[in-house]
A and B are shown apart, each in its own frame.
Chain A
C-alpha cells in the first residue's frame, strides 16, 4: 500500500510591494537545486504568463523531489501566483534598478511518499521492512520538516517579512 504523509500543507506567504521578482525566482530555484530537490528539467510543472493591459500575471507550479532511500522520497511543492505585476524603476545606493511591483503569493507544501519499490513489496519482505521503516519515518519527517520550513523562511527573508 502506498504511503503518503503530509507535512506542510499549502503554507501561504503573501506580500504586496516591490521586489526583484526575477532574482527571487532564481534564488528559490537555486535553493531547491542546491538541496537536491530539483534539476533544470524536472522542477517546473507549470508556467503561465498572462498579459492584462500593461500588467502581467504569473501562475507557476514547481514539484521538487528528492530520493531519500530506495523506498521513500521527499517532496516539496511550490505554487506561485503573481497578480498585477508592473515594472518600476527604483534607486538603490545611487543605482537605478528595474524591479517589479505586484501582489505575490507563495504556497509551500511538503510530504513524504513511498516509491514503487515499496508499493510492490509483498509477504514477509513487506512485514520485515514495515517493522524497520516505521521507526525511520519519524526521522524522515523531522528532516523534511527542517528542510521545508527552512525554505519557507528563506522566501520570507528575501521578502523582508518577519521570521
Chain B
C-alpha cells in the first residue's frame, strides 16, 4: 500500500448507518458535537439545513472535526446526516428516517512543507515514517472513527 498525502481510513463510501424509527435528533446532534472537543478536535459545521415540509421537516447536517496530531500529521473526521426526515412527533423526539455517513482522513504534511519535493515526500512517508504511520497514526484515527460510530449507533439503539 502506497502512503500518500491524504489517506482515507473509511470504506469507499464511508461508514453508512441507516435507521428508521423513533429517536431524538437534538440529543444525537449534541452528543456528536461534543464528541469532537472531547477528543481534542476543532469542530466545524459545514452545513445546517432545515426545511419545513408537509410530510415532516427535512434536516441536513454536515459536521467535521480537525485535529493536528503534530506538525506533520492531521486527522479529519466528517459526520454527515443526510436528509433526516422527521415524520411524526413523539413525546420525546420524532419518528424519523436517517442516513448517517462517517468518514475519516489522515492528512500528511498538512502544513505543505514538502510540497516542492514530491519524491522526497514519497520516500519519507513510505520508507522512513511508514512504520510509525501504520502502527501508531493509522490505528489511532481508526479507533477514533469507530468510537464515533459506536456513539451514533448507541444513540440510535442499534447493535454495536
Using CB atoms and an 8 Å cutoff, list the residues of chain A in contact with chain B.
8, 11-17, 103, 145, 149, 152, 156, 159, 161-162
A159 to B57, CA, bound (A): 14
Interface status of B46 (Cβ within 8 A of chain A): yes
Chain A interface: which of B5-13, B47-55, B127-135, B152-160?
A: B47-55
- Smallest beta-carbon distance B5→chain A, Å: 18
Choose from A12, A16, A103, A149 the contact partner of B46 (Cβ within 8 Å). Answer: A12
- Knowing that A13-B49, A15-B51, A162-B25 are A-B contacts, what are 6 other residue pairs whose CB atoms are under 8 Å apart, sorted by A's residue number? A11-B47, A12-B48, A13-B48, A14-B48, A15-B49, A152-B45
Interface status of B95 (Cβ within 8 A of chain A): no
- Smallest beta-carbon distance B101→chain A, Å: 17
Interface status of B142 (Cβ within 8 A of chain A): no
A-B complex: 10 closest residue pairs judged by Cβ atoms: A14-B49, A16-B51, A12-B47, A17-B52, A13-B48, A162-B29, A162-B26, A15-B50, A16-B52, A11-B45
Main secondary structure of the interface of B (DSSP, over half): strand
By a CB distance below 8 angstroms, the chain B residues around A145 are 42
Complex contact B42–A16 (CB within 8 A): no
A159 to B123, CA, bound (A): 51
Also in contact, A156 and B48, with CB within 8 A (given A162-B25, A162-B29): yes
A36 to B108, CA, bound (A): 37
By a CB distance below 8 angstroms, the chain A residues around B49 are 12-15
Main secondary structure of the interface of A (DSSP, over half): strand
By a CB distance below 8 angstroms, the chain B residues around A15 are 49-51
Complex contact A16–B48 (CB within 8 A): no
Number of A-B contacts (CB under 8 A): 41
Interface status of B72 (Cβ within 8 A of chain A): no
B residues contacting the other copy or chain, number (CB 8 A): 17
Complex contact B45–A16 (CB within 8 A): no
Of B43, B45, B47, B48, the most chain A CB neighbours within 10 A belong to B48
- Smallest beta-carbon distance A7→chain B, Å: 9
Complex contact B50–A8 (CB within 8 A): no
Complex contact A8–B44 (CB within 8 A): yes
Nearest opposing residue in chain B for A18, CB measure: B52
Contact with A along B50-91 (1 / 0, CB 8 A): 111000000010100000000000000000000000000000
A8 to B49, CA, bound (A): 17
A16 to B60, CA, bound (A): 12
A12 to B64, CA, bound (A): 13
A51 to B60, CA, bound (A): 29
Contact with A along B1-37 (1 / 0, CB 8 A): 0000000000000000000000001100110000000
By a CB distance below 8 angstroms, the chain B residues around A14 are 47-51, 60
- Smallest beta-carbon distance B67→chain A, Å: 13
Complex contact B48–A161 (CB within 8 A): yes
- Smallest beta-carbon distance A111→chain B, Å: 13
- Smallest beta-carbon distance B89→chain A, Å: 15
